[in-house]
Amino acid sequence: MANFKCVGLVGRPDHSGVVDSLTRLLAFLEEQGVTVVLDAVTAELITNSGVVVCSRADLSKQCDLVIVVGGDGSMLNVAKYVAVDQVPVIGINRGKLGFLTDVLPEDIEATISDVLNGKFSIENRFLLDVVVRSNGKETALGSALNDVVLHPGKAAQMIEFELFVDGKFVYSQESDGLIVATPTGSTAYALSAGGPIMHPDLNAVVLVPMYPHSLNSRPIVIDGDSEIRLVVAAKETLQPQLSCDGDVLYTATASDEFLVTKNAIPLQLIHPPQYSFYQACRSKLGWGSRLAKPDV
**Whole-number Å distance between alpha carbons of 18 and 69:** 6
Q: Say how far apart CA 272 and CA 266 lie, in whole Å.
A: 19
CATH 3.40.50.10330 correct for 6-125+266-285: yes
Q: Domain residues of the chain, as ranges?
A: 6-125+266-285, 128-262
Region for 294 from its dihedrals, namely left if φ exceeds 0, alpha if ψ lies in -120 to 50, beta otherwise = beta
SS3 234: coil
Confidence of residue 98 (pLDDT cuts 50, 70, 90): confident
- How sure is the predictor about 74, in pLDDT bands with cuts at 50, 70 and 90? very high
Beta-carbon contacts of residue 48 (< 8 Å; ≥ 6 apart):
26
- pTM of the predicted protein model: 0.93
pLDDT band at 131 (very low <50, low <70, confident <90, very high): very high
Q: Could you tell me the CA-to-CA distances from 159 to 121, 153, 181, 264 in Å, in that order? A: 42, 10, 19, 31
Task: List residues with catalytic annotation.
Answer: 72
Convert the pLDDT of each residue in 18-61 to its tens digit: 999 999 999 999 999 999 999 999 998 887 667 899 999 999 99
Write out the CATH class of domain 128-262: mainly beta
- Torsions phi, psi of 219, nearest 5? -60, 145
Distance of CA 149 to the CA centre of its chain: 13
CB 75 within 8 A of CB 68: yes
